[in-house]
Amino acid sequence: MANPFSRVRQFYKETVAELKKANWPNASEIRSSMLVVFVAILLLGAFIALADFSVYNVVDMCTALVNGK
């Protein structure tokens, strides 16, 4: 019967070897990607806020019409 920890050790060694082969981004690439993500978050947040405000006002207006106010 094989040692069960040898499989875990082999998996760990192979994982480390594959991670060393990866092409990791440098600092400028990370900064530019981070800027794109922040701009996308701001645009999406603004869109969701505008949509929420609009839907709230439409529902409020319809409720006021139904209640006769």
3-class secondary-structure state, position 2: coil
Q: State the Cα–Cα distance between residues 9 and 51, nearest whole angstrom.
A: 52
Residue with tokens 């006021």: 64
Query: 1: pLDDT confidence band, cut at 50, 70 and 90?
Result: low
- Domain coordinates in residue numbering, the chain: 4-67
pLDDT in tens, 18-49: 999 999 899 999 999 999 999 999 999 999 99
Sign of the dihedral defined by the CA atoms of residues 16, 18, 21, 22, in that order: negative
Q: State the Cα–Cα distance between residues 19 and 23, nearest whole angstrom.
A: 9
Query: 69: pLDDT confidence band, cut at 50, 70 and 90?
Result: low
| Pair of tokens at residue 6 | 């040898």
